[in-house]
Amino acid sequence: FFFPPPTETKASVGFKAGVKDYKLTYYTPEYETKDTDILAAFRVTPQPGVPPEEAGAAVAAESSTGTWTAVWTDGLTSLDRYKGRCYHIEPVAGEENQYIAYVAYPLDLFEEGSVTNMFTSIVGNVFGFKALRALRLEDLRIPPAYSKTFQGPPHGIQVERDKLNKYGRPLLGCTIKPKLGLSAKNYGRAVYECLRGGLDFTKDDENVNSQPFMRWRDRFVFCAEALYKAQAETGEIKGHYLNAT
């Protein structure tokens, strides 16, 4: 078989494998933050022999576009546009070998309206990074340009009051206990007793989903029965919040 010699591409020019220093690319003290940047403040404790600038740059790299070595696909995108930047390092007063590393992330790194994506990126695998002895996210600034991408709840407290027809006082409710282990029928009984006793609403605990001892559909039926019964006996509008997640 004959294999022609590899063709040199733009991406392969200057490519060299090996562990690289993050601070060469991701420590940028001259960077001026933008109003649209997401800003994070990390408390870092570097491993012995690791400069604080390298530790801060490592956090910026691993939480954005970086990896431990150069790869040829780096040449296929604009890393300078998408990378996180450690733009300032300062020692923590009164603490030995602890620093606050300030990192700026461009908005394009994150999916709009996704808390999960944002936190997975910023506080994902960086906590297991070998260059760091300890790491903690101390502060986070989310710009309006990103927070406005979240839809938010479909309605607020005023709509809740309108639905319950309760005004001029706090709404009174509770979470059903024990949160796990009740059958759907007994769960509905507890809902009825609470609503009949004077509460405005009851709610599921966040641990309650659709477990074998109480399936969601069964819980819905018994809670609805309890709610309508309590309403008929009290003459008040009642509510129950079912966990649908």
Domain ranges across the chain: 18-148, 157-241
Task: Tell me the whole-structure pTM to 2 decimals.
Answer: 0.63
Q: What is the pLDDT of residues 172-216, one digit of tens each?
A: 999 999 989 999 999 999 999 999 999 999 999 999 999 999 999
| Cβ pair 145, 107 in contact under 8 A | yes
**Using N-to-C axis directions, what is the helix angle for 216-234 and 184-196, rounded to 10°?**
20
Rg (CA), the chain: 27
3-state SS, residue 202: strand
Distance CA 56, CA 146 (A): 24
Residue range 18-148 forms a domain whose CATH class is alpha beta
**What is the mean pLDDT, run by run of 10 residues, along the chain of 245 residues?**
52 48 89 96 95 94 78 73 92 95 95 92 82 93 95 87 96 96 98 98 96 97 98 98 92
Residue 184 Cα to chain centre, angstroms: 32
